[in-house]
Amino acid sequence: MKVAIAGGTGTFGRALAARLRDLGHDIAIGSRDESRAQERAAVLGVSGGTNESVVRDADLVVLAVQSSAAIDSARELADAIGETPVLCVASDLRFTDAGVVPARSSGSVAEDVAALVADHLVAGRALDAGPLANARALEDMTAVIIHVNRRYRAVAGLRLTGIG
C-alpha cells in the first residue's frame, strides 16, 4: 500500500513512516519544506517531497501535522487528496503542570478535518463507535492514558474487547 504522511518530518510522522516501511508499505513523507522532507526521507529509506506532491497518488493519506495546522493543511490538500481515505492523527491535547488536558471545550480536530475531506476520514480498524462527535470523548481518553503512563511509568493502553 502506498501511504503518504503529510507532516511526516515530525516525531510522530517519522516513527509511523519507519514502522509502516518495516511492514513493507511504500511510504512517502511530506513537509511544507521539500528539502527537509527529502533529507528526513533519505535517513528513513523512504521517499519525500512537499505535502501536496506526496498525497497525490497515495492509497492512504495520514495527516500527521500539529493540531493547530490540521484544518489549514486539510483545506490546502483537499484537491490533491481527492477521494483518497484520510487518517488524521492530530489531537488538541496540552501538556501542563496539572497533567494532560484537552485544549478545546467542545468538538474535535477530527470533526473539523472531516468537514473538509468528508467521507474519506478513517481511523485505524473500522469500528462503529457512533457519530464523529464521539471523537471528542476518544481524544479526552487519550489524556487519561498519557497521565496514567507518566504517573506509573507504564505503557498502558485502551482495548475494546468482545468484538468479533
Does residue 8 register a pLDDT over 70? yes
Ramachandran assignment for 24, one of left (phi > 0), alpha (psi -120 to 50 degrees), beta (any other): left
Residue-wise pLDDT for 48-105, tens only, equals 999 999 999 999 999 998 877 788 888 899 899 988 888 888 766 666 676 655 655 5
Place of cell 478513517: 122
Give the mean pLDDT of 114-138.
65
Rounded Cα distance, 51 and 141, in Å: 29
Provide the pLDDT confidence category of residue 125 given band limits of 50, 70 and 90.
low
- Name the 3-class secondary structure at 33: coil
Domain 2-152 has CATH 3.20.20.60: no
Helix axes 109-116, 67-81, angle to 10 degrees: 20
Question: pLDDT at residue 42 above 50?
Answer: yes
Q: Residue 150: left if φ>0, alpha if ψ -120 to 50, beta else—which one? A: alpha
Please choose, from the candidates 88, 99, 33, the residue with its C-alpha nearest in 3D space to the C-alpha of residue 66. 88
Q: Write down the mean pLDDT value for the chain.
A: 82
pTM confidence score: 0.66
What residues pair up with 123 in beta bridges, in sequence order? Answer: none
Sequence ranges of the domains in the chain: 2-152
pLDDT band (50, 70, 90) for residue 117: low
Give the model's confidence band at 21: pLDDT under 50 very low, under 70 low, under 90 confident, else very high.
very high
Q: Give CA angle at 25 (157, 33), nearest 5°.
A: 90
Output DSSP code: residue 134: G
The two beta strands, 93-96 and 99-102, are antiparallel
Banded pLDDT at 129 (limits 50, 70, 90) = confident
pLDDT (0 to 100) of residue 74: 86
Percent of the chain with pLDDT over 70: 78
Q: What pLDDT shows up at residue 54?
A: 98
